[in-house]
Copies of this chain bind each other. A is one copy, B any other.
Amino acid sequence: MQLLKDRIIRDGQVIGTEIVKVDSFLNHQIDVALMSEIGKEFATRFAGLSIDKIFTVESSGIAIACATALHMGNLPVVFAKKAVPNTMTDQCYSTEVTSFTKNTVYSMIVSKKYLSRNDNILIIDDFLAYGGAALGMVELAKQAGATVHGIGIAVEKSFQGGSEKLRQRGYRVESLAVISSIKDGYIIFKNNKEGER
């Protein structure tokens, strides 16, 4: 998605050889017009599938997931949580996720009320690096018996191997901007055309 790649080039901030900060438009400050275009693009790429729910994880997946849901006919969005508030008394599915970026392990949970074997879901997230968060969502979907029709990612860092792990498990991954490497402070995109996998 050229619009997103251009924005990453313009406003992304490279830190070392592993991290690209996009917090000026994606995960601290949010450009809602860009989110809407991203949502539209996911709706196009995953058109024709019988998806009835969008699944994401707090916090920075929420804006993109909602934009996608709006463009797919107002589908419900469910976001997994990273902690258990005391108002959450229901039974939950849960899994442990290792965040390589933050060097932490956290519990990812979702209420059994909002993910079930009848759900046909699309997983949406802002970033895919080593795949921890996406694999966590896949695991929660598996526990619930839900069917995962695809995984939509805004920014993928393919050199960290997350998408490879997901594809090996048979999942369709659509990433709108694929960073293949970071060299001397420059971002190198994989030359993927629109709709290419």
A interface, CB within 8 angstroms of B:
15, 19, 21, 23-24, 28-33, 35-36, 58-59, 62-63, 66-67, 69-70, 74-79, 81, 85-89, 101-103, 110-111, 113-114
Contact = CB atoms under 8 A, between A and B. Distances in A.
A29 B78 contact: yes
**By DSSP majority rule, is chain A's interface helix, strand, loop, or mixed?**
mixed
Contact of A70 (B32, B59, B74, B110): B32
A81 B19 CA distance: 19
Protomer copies: 2
A69 B32 contact: yes
A188 B129 CA distance: 47
Contacts of A30: 62, 66, 69, 76-79
A23 B86 CA distance: 13
A78 B15 contact: no
Nearest to A76: B29
B103 A86 contact: yes
A86 B21 CA distance: 11
Given A29-B78, A86-B102, 6 more contacts: A28-B78, A59-B62, A63-B66, A66-B66, A86-B101, A87-B101
